[in-house]
Structure 1
């Protein structure tokens, strides 16, 4: 596993509990997920765009981009999280573990239709 492979930086975010805002509680606000204490929220990754498509749904033009993101093995990554990469939010559709050595995770992600929700 070469270090140059993971040249991108992503942030994993998870929906938190209700937090207080200036107008009262904010239910389920998103917050950066930190894998281990002191490791930081920026995770080295390889981001590979797979496809993009435009379609008409509910009378409006929509677009969707799907991608594959590979990261080093991190316990606790779930498909209920989302990914922040290069200012864009991606919803995680699936978390695929390395079946043999637990060296990496593959995240199948999409953006556009769900807006990272």
Structure 2
């Protein structure tokens, strides 16, 4: 594992509810953890859904092993947002994790 390959910052976010200054509930995303990652684009395709066309990009994020991440979170990479599709502990060695994320544009 070459540390120089982990050259991008990504942030994991969790959906949560809070309240605004007047006490009304608001939904939003809260940052949980920011890590260094290696990023590889896997596929890109167009999805036809409800009479519209959407572009869908699948991306692989490799990070150092960490705890506290699950599929209910999302990844923020710059201004781009990825829904987490799967999280894999590479070779079950607790050294690196591969996270598959889908960006819908």
Give the structure-2-normalised TM-score.
0.90
Match in the other structure for 1:7: 7
Question: RMSD value over aligned CA atoms?
Answer: 1.5
After superposition, where does 1:74-89 map in structure 2 within 5 Å? 74-89=66-81
SS of 1:99's equivalent in the other structure is helix
Tell me, yes or no, if structure 1 residue 31 matches structure 2 residue 23: no
Matches of 2:68 and 2:91 in 1, distance apart? 16
Segments of 4+ moved more than 3 angstroms: none
Task: Name the structure 2 match of 1:51.
Answer: 43
Query: What displacement does 1:52 show?
Result: 0.6
Pair 1:62 & 2:61 matched? no
Number of aligned positions between the proteins = 104
Unmatched 5+ stretches in structure 2: none
| 2:98 counterpart SS class | strand
Which structure is higher in strand share? 2
Point out where structure 1 has 5 or more consecutive residues left out of the alignment: 35-40
TM-score by length of 1: 0.82
